[in-house]
Amino acid sequence: MPKSSLERALEKYQKEAAKNVNKKIQADKRLADKQRREASRQAQIEARRERAASIVNGQPTIGGLKIIDYTAEKLVSMICDGYKREDFKMTNNDIEIPEYLERDLQFEFEKLKQYGLISQFAYYISGVWEISILPSLLSYLQDKENVMKQKQKTNNYTNIFHGDVSDIQIQQGTNHSTQMKNAATDFDYEAVGNIIEQIRKYDGMLDTEFGKSASVLREKMEEISSLVQRQENSGKIQILLGDIKNLAIGVGGSLIASGILSALQKIM
């Protein structure tokens, strides 16, 4: 028996209703997926901010100038060398970033922002990026050189000690004099070398624990080892040890990072 007009109308209505329900389900699913992606993105941004803050806040201030960490200073130097414009803007087309910085460039930009050297940055999955430079970035290297010279000049004329003091030699008002200091109180290259070797024992786990920062950590350890073998440039070694400390702080919750921090406390 042919369907009546009422039956056909009801059947059409039911199909349309089912179609609309399916559309709503798909729309709700897309919205939920979008919200999950956005929540994940915001969580990554917040984690990056906190990680950067742990390094930035740990850096010293000398003569009113915040001294930035070693990796950030390398990036600042590259930006200063490559900046040829007059609009305080820079993009990926202006300079070539080395691979060890490119791997976590958003993190490095976040540090520069917290240091007060750039006002904002945009980074895209394709690798395209743009930053807005502040004048303080372009003058940072010269500003640092000035405050370090001033600090050195002050140290040449003033000795200030806080707390217990031992094995200190001060000689004033004498000409053509010679002083000997016990070598045991000099920089302990052997202790530094031993700590680097301890960290290397866990090399196979560094990628898991430190992620993209593992390669940076290895580069700094190699540089320290080279200086230790030659027993030279203790000041540079101290800076590199500080960078390793910042990397360990930035990981957070890692047993290896905790071990590194504990070991560094003995020599820093």
In a domain, 163, yes or no: no
What confidence tens digit (pLDDT) does each residue in 2-21 have?
777 777 788 888 888 888 88
Clarify whether residues 200 and 255 are in a common domain. Answer: yes
Total domains present in the chain:
3
In a domain, 152, yes or no: no
Clarify whether residues 199 and 131 are in a common domain. Answer: no
In a domain, 178, yes or no: no
pLDDT value at residue 172: 43
Clarify whether residues 22 and 70 are in a common domain. Answer: no
Tell me: pLDDT of 122 over 70: yes
CB 228 within 8 Å of CB 189: yes
Range with the lowest mean pLDDT among 105-114, 171-180, 230-239, 249-258? 171-180
Clarify whether residues 45 and 80 are in a common domain. Answer: no
How many angstroms separate the CA atoms of 56 and 62, rounded?
14
In a domain, 230, yes or no: yes
Clarify whether residues 77 and 116 are in a common domain. Answer: yes
How many angstroms separate the CA atoms of 79 and 110, rounded?
15
Range with the lowest mean pLDDT among 48-52, 118-122, 136-140, 165-169? 165-169
Clarify whether residues 76 and 127 are in a common domain. Answer: yes
How many angstroms separate the CA atoms of 47 and 216, rounded?
19
Clarify whether residues 202 and 250 are in a common domain. Answer: yes
Of the candidates 202, 231, 239, 235, the residue with the CA atom closest to the CA atom of residue 218? 202
Mean pLDDT value of segment 52-78: 91
In a domain, 153, yes or no: no
Place of tokens 């700094």: 220
* Cα distances (angstroms) measured from residue 101 to each of 72, 75, 115, 216, 224: 9, 8, 17, 9, 19
Tell me: pLDDT of 266 over 90: no
Domain extent at residue 32: 10-49
Task: Write the CB contacts of 245 (distance below 8 Å, at least 6 apart in sequence).
Answer: 58, 260, 261, 264, 268
In a domain, 212, yes or no: yes
DSSP character at residue 9: H
In a domain, 151, yes or no: no
Clarify whether residues 36 and 15 are in a common domain. Answer: yes
- Evaluate if pTM is beyond 0.85: no
How many angstroms separate the CA atoms of 176 and 163, rounded?
31
Mean pLDDT value of segment 157-184: 41
In a domain, 103, yes or no: yes
Clarify whether residues 30 and 72 are in a common domain. Answer: no
Clarify whether residues 196 and 248 are in a common domain. Answer: yes
Length of the chain, in residues: 268
Share of the chain above pLDDT 90, in %: 32
What confidence tens digit (pLDDT) does each residue in 16-48 have?
888 888 888 888 888 888 888 888 878 888 998
* Cα distances (angstroms) measured from residue 4 to each of 1, 8, 17: 9, 6, 20
Clarify whether residues 45 and 66 are in a common domain. Answer: no
Token pair of 126, please?
A: 């394709």
Clarify whether residues 38 and 67 are in a common domain. Answer: no
